[in-house]
Chain A
Amino acid sequence: MSAPTRAPKERRDVSRRRFLGYLVAAPTLVVAAELGRQQLFAPPGASAAAIPSPPQVADAYDLLDAIRDTARPTANLVKVEVNRDGTVSFALPRSDNGQGIITSTAMIIAEEMDLEPEQVNVTLADSRPELVFNQLTGGSSTTFSTFTPIRVAAAIAKGALLDAAAHLLGQDVDTLTSRAGLITGAGGSAIPFSELTEAAATDVTKQVEVALKPREEFSIIGTERGKSDARAIVTGKKQFLADMKVPDALPTVICRGPNLNSEPLSVANADEVRNMPGITDVEMVSTGVAVRAATTGQAIDGVNALRVEWDGGTVEGENDESVLEKVRAAELPLAVPSVPGETVEGDFTFYFRSNSALETNMAIADVRDGSAEIWSALKVPITVQHDIAEQLGMPVNAVTLHVVEGGGSFGRRLFGDAAKEAAEVSQKLGKPVSLIWTRADDSRQGRTHPMATSRIRAVVAGESVVSFEQRHTSVTTDFGHGLGDAATAAAAKLPLGAVGFSEAIWELTQTTPYDFGAQTRVLSEVDLRFNTSSMRNVYSPDVCTARDLIVDQIAAKMGKDSYEFRREFLRDDAMRAVLDKVAEEGNWGRSMEEGTAQGIGFHIEYKSFAACLVELDCRPETVNREIRSARTGPRVTKVVFASDGGLIINPLGYKAQVMGGINDGIAMTLTSSLHLEDGHFIEASWDNYFYTRQWNTPLDMQIFIVDSGRPEPGGVGELAVAPTCGAIACAYARATGTVPEYFPILHKEPLPFEPYPTVPPIPPSPTNGLEMAR
């Protein structure tokens, strides 16, 4: 079949790549697609003094490629459907937790089909085990891995509609134009998609070849577009999980033990609690004691009234320093010997950080009569579906898993902690439950970014960096979610498998952007039974912080300016363009008051290059600002950020992701960490765990997109965090004259709060809210 596109010039262009897809047998038009492949990276450029580093794994093939390639065999099951009302539907096999991929996916389909984005309904697909690897949201991969297959399907759909219209109108397909769901022929005769979808349908599935719209003709991709659910959000109508009404799914809260992962041994007063107002059920489960009640508040009261005997948990007696000792013991030696006068070295510690979102872990479960129906925000639903089936003793197809939009993710929704718990509770009670983690649980017992050390040794000879070694040692990061498939997830759960998997992720994501001669980057991990996961990135923020600090020291040793040095040693001009942008827009090198300084960070990942320039105020009057129950500390007063992320679908959504990443970087570098004391994390509130607040956020933030014309979208969801961390660390060193050795920088400052008790587990709600109304 010939290409069903209408512009004759496209047909003459024999060089344009063609993609394969399918017309799928169905009563209305349904189209499916396979994946294509493009080369993204230009060859590295050269610098006079820079000794080229041999290619690193992640340069040629990174995590995005891995996720896309694992997605490849089944991507043809990704379908675009034209409905009888003329709208187009697409069920995105990904999870949206605020990153805006629903909006950008609608834009991609609308672009290819000449529709308005409003005419495209994008929903989140339920767990589809047949998708195998193709249902993972992580590693900032969504747009990169779905961009081409979605376009192919949309292009074939449009072609089929044009062919059907040509047939009905008795006109040549090349004379037809399509706009906003209406196909118009010569003489003004027009047919809407709604009247064409049946005619365009096929009763046998067949393979079709198609060319895609060239970039020069884009009119939607690359334009700014607000989020599709903006109005629903500002009117309170957007439904999150806890807002959904599933009949009889009453609020359920778990009473958890005093230490991390404490398990319950016995309950002394279950009957007494069962008789409290509103409470319907009290039941011991593997992670604690579940209390189900008419209102969430009553379930919380029940939890706090329980008297439970607990075991000591998985890290009994441990604290920050004892864990750090164990991490230190697992450190691998650096290979190149230290040479006095020629070596620049650094050793940095990164404490535990929480990836708790504002919406706590939640799930609704109805497990009765041999089947299970579960709702949760899940980035890897297939793995969770398998786990739950196994846990419930049911076949996989008896478990239906609905992916619901989540209130933030940051790594949390990679795991189905709440979904598994809700399934267990519902099965034990034989009743539906709406399970909600309390804030204290989410902070104390939820997953964390693991404690790590990062050591660097660079050998400098004259104007060159001869070698650059980085050794990263970390409490194990849990990758038990695999790459979306139950088989890889099971492999990652084996002790040896997990090592292999982490190392694979390390190799696929970490690369040094500079020509620093012989380079090695090695990861070692020590499993200490913490609940961990990635957190708006796995290793990069810490790796980049350490690297930027050492890069600044190498520059100083050579007597070079931090920016000029990076510029000289960066591997190619596209990277330099991004660095130049922040230096220029941020007025790098301007004179700064004492106690304040600029800092610069640079990072490459996810097929993107990113640079960040910050100005940091470390003057006492700023550091010691009095705000009740708050971490104030140094303030980042200005951020200038630039990145080249390849093709940008929606610049507004892109910049929003960058802004979030910047605010995360500020928290990770300066204020936010968990403190482990005597087997548990002490933070139970947002006034204990100091994520960035209004009084920490920069007053001036400028975000620039640098476009070097690369044809595919890179990843942005996590991109901004690492270079922001690097820039702030360098600015701090410059403003104070002290190179920080641990992060966040304020981790060891006196706590501006009294930790809440761990028994009862939930801080009680105050009653004085009316007096505080203002």
Chain B
Amino acid sequence: MSTHTFKVNGETVTVDVEDDVRMLWVLRDVLGITGPKYGCGINVCKACTSHVNGKAFNPCSVPVGAISESDEITTIEGLADGDTLHPMQEAWIDNDVAQCGYCQPGQIMAAVALVKRCEAEGRDIDDEALDEIRNICRCGTYNRIREAIKAGADNM
């Protein structure tokens, strides 16, 4: 076992766990932060999508040993500002996006990062940009996701 310190959702945490345990299990099984979901464990389904230093990443594919003390991780639980939801979360509620909801934390985190990236690259949130999203929704909510991202982007 070794000790790892980093920031999650604004709080500094220290965990005692082997270096190679993937961050998804550190978050879920060690820290009890269960917003990021398991859907594949191999960086395909994107159900675990969270942010590291503001960029979308998939904690199922990052060993805790690769995370340094200065790294700031944000999961879906840390996206809202207290009781004030992030515009993307609001858009998700307004568009009644979710079915079972299992994929949705990952979808929202991916959407926020996509909008930021497009903005930085000077691109529109058009069909081409939306087609890039790899997150699986087995309930087939894709079309509402597209609408919500456009609406959420307008308010970000």
Which of A's residues lie within 8 Å of B, judged by CB? 97-100, 226-227, 229-240, 242-243, 245, 251, 277-278, 294-298, 300-301, 356-360, 405-408, 410, 436, 438-439, 627, 629, 652, 656, 659-664, 685-687, 691-695, 697-699, 701, 762-770, 772-774
Chain B 27-41 interface mask (CB, 8 Å, partner A; 1/0): 011101011111111
**8 Å CB interface, B61-106 against A:** 61-63, 66-67, 75-77, 79-80, 85, 89, 92-93, 96, 98-105
User: Which residues of the partner chain A approach B134 to less than 8 Å between Cβ atoms?
Assistant: 693-694
Binding site for A on B (CB under 8 A): 1, 17-18, 20-26, 28-30, 32, 34-45, 47, 52-53, 55-63, 66-67, 75-77, 79-80, 85, 89, 92-93, 96, 98-105, 108, 113, 117, 127, 130-146
- A227 & B42 in contact (Cβ 8 Å cutoff): no
| Distance in Å: Cβ of A700 to nearest Cβ of chain B | 9
A-chain residues with CB within 8 Å of residue B85 when the two chains form the complex:
231, 234-235
B100 in complex: contacting residue of A407, A439, A691, CB < 8 Å: A407
**Known contacts A98-B101, A694-B142, A766-B61; is A236 also within 8 Å of B34 by CB?**
yes
A300 CA to B98 CA, complexed, in Å: 30
Nearest-neighbour CB distance to chain A for B43, whole angstroms, equals: 5
Q: Which residues of B contact A298 (CB under 8 A)?
A: 18, 21, 25
Question: Dominant SS at the B interface?
Answer: loop
CB <8 Å contact, A243 and B101: no
- Contact assessment for A97 and B133 in the assembled complex, using a CB-CB cutoff below 8 Å: no
Q: Enumerate chain B residues within 8 angstroms of A301, measured Cβ to Cβ.
A: 20
Q: How far is the CA of A664 from the CA of B140 in the complex (A)?
A: 7
Q: Is the CB of A659 within 8 A of B140?
A: yes
Minimum Cβ distance to chain B for residue A631 (Å): 13
Q: Which residues of A contact B20 (CB under 8 A)?
A: 301, 767
Taking a contact as CB atoms under 8 Å apart, the answer to whether A295 and B101 are in contact is: no
Determine if A408 and B41 form an interchain contact, defined as CB atoms under 8 angstroms apart.
no
Q: What are 23 sample pairs from A and B whose C-beta atoms fall under 8 A apart?
A: A227-B96, A229-B98, A229-B101, A230-B92, A231-B85, A234-B92, A234-B98, A236-B34, A238-B101, A243-B28, A295-B17, A301-B20, A358-B100, A359-B100, A360-B39, A439-B39, A439-B45, A659-B143, A685-B42, A694-B133, A765-B61, A773-B53, A773-B55
Check if A243 sits within 8 Å of B34, measured CB to CB: yes
Pairwise interchain contact B142-A663, C-beta atoms closer than 8 A? yes
Which single member of A233, A297, A358, A652 contacts B39 (CB below 8 Å)?
A358
When C-beta atoms are compared, the residue in chain A nearest to B77 turns out to be: A236
Q: A627 — which chain B residues lie within 8 A by C-beta?
A: 131
CA distance A660 to B100 in the complex (A): 11
Instruction: Let me know if B66 and A770 touch, CB within 8 A.
Output: yes
Report the Cα distance A400→B34, complex, angstroms.
25
Bound state CA distance, A295 and B17, in angstroms? 10
B43 near A772: Cβ-Cβ < 8 Å: yes
**CB–CB B60/A765 < 8 A:** yes
For residue A292, give the distance in angstroms from its CB to the closest CB of chain B: 12
Q: Which of A100, A294, A685, A764 contacts B99 (CB 8 A)?
A: A100
- Provide the residues of chain B in CB contact with A764, threshold 8 Å: 42
Contact of A660 among B34, B59, B139, B145 (CB under 8 A): B139
Measured between beta carbons, the chain A residues less than 8 angstroms from B53 are 773
Given contacts A231-B93, A235-B76, A769-B58, whether A296 and B29 have CB atoms under 8 Å apart is yes
Q: How far is the CA of A744 from the CA of B98 in the complex (A)?
A: 27
CB of B59 to closest CB in A, whole Å: 7
Closest CB in chain A relative to B152 CB, distance in Å:
11
Asked whether, in the complex, the Cβ of B89 is within 8 Å of the Cβ of A358, the reply is no
Are A686 and B39 in contact, CB atoms less than 8 angstroms apart?
yes
